[in-house]
Amino acid sequence: MSIICLEGISAVGKTTTAEELAHTTNVCVIPEVNLLFERPRKSSNTWYLERQVERWCLAEEKLKDYETVILDGDVFQPLSYNWCFDFQIYNQSLDFISEFYQKAIQAGRIQFPHKYFYLYANETNLRWRKENDQTRTRKNFEKHTGISQSHQRYYEALNQFRPGYVKLLEAASSKEAAKVVFHQRPLAAKDLNPEILLQNITRWLKENKA
């Protein structure tokens, strides 16, 4: 049984690939935070972080009925996303976010996925996808396109700490991407030490600028 994460910037095809997997294989898909939860007008500084933990708990619950659960977006996304903007957008420092996750890991509330698939595409392809997707407005598309290289670099860096952990996947076709995801073997939970991995990631983020 495994929990797999699909990542990549806006309009790259994470959701359509996840939907293709759900239609063709026996997997369960956990949507991103903004599709699962409605944020209240007034919320704490950890609201979004807590919802990521809740997504993980939901994924683990679904493993009782499914061999594979797909996370549409990373439960540790606040680390990569905030780093891309130099931790200037949500009033959350790297230490703040890392400490939150460290406590959640120690409490057994969250773990790292067993495998990441990072979907990427060139800007022309991304813009075509955005313009032809009538289901979502993607108001922050330009902002997300501007961080595409940094965002990908973060996930490439994860392979330094656990070789083969992240599979980069060109998102030319959701059907082809889904086939690759389905046939890749994820890591076993025993091969991942979440506390050490978080420590390595935090150190790398401190040493490298987006």
Query: Would residue 44 be called left, alpha or beta, if left means φ above 0 and alpha means ψ between -120 and 50 degrees?
Result: beta
Kindly tell me the burial class for residue 27, based on how many C-beta atoms sit within 10 Å of its own C-beta (0-12, 13-18, 19 or more). Answer: buried
The per-residue pLDDT for range 18-42, each reduced to its tens digit, is 999 999 888 999 999 999 999 888 8
Q: Distance between alpha carbon 63 and the CA centroid of its chain, in Å? A: 18
75 pLDDT band, cuts 50/70/90, is very high
* Pairing assessment for the beta strands 166-170 and 27-30 based on DSSP bridges: unpaired
* Amino acid residing at 149: Q
Q: Are 84 and 210 in contact (CB under 8 A)?
A: yes
Lowest mean pLDDT among 63-77, 83-97, 124-138: 124-138
Contact 29, 21 (CB under 8 A): yes
Averaged pLDDT, 70-96: 94
Q: Which domain holds residue 21?
A: 2-207
**CATH code where residue 16 lies:** 3.40.50.300
Which two tokens mark 189?
A: 């939970």
- How far is residue 59's CA from residue 204's CA, in Å, rounded to a whole number? 27
If 0-12 CB within 10 Å is exposed, 13-18 middle and 19+ buried, where does residue 3 land? buried
In percent, the amount of the chain with pLDDT more than 90 equals 64
Residues whose CB is less than 8 angstroms from the CB of residue 89 and which lie 6 or more positions away in sequence, other chains included? 82
pLDDT in tens, 86-117: 998 888 999 999 999 999 999 999 999 999 99
Between residues 136 and 17, the one the model is more confident about: 17
Query: What is the total count of domains within the chain?
Result: 1
For residues 154 and 176, is the Cβ–Cβ distance under 8 A?
A: no
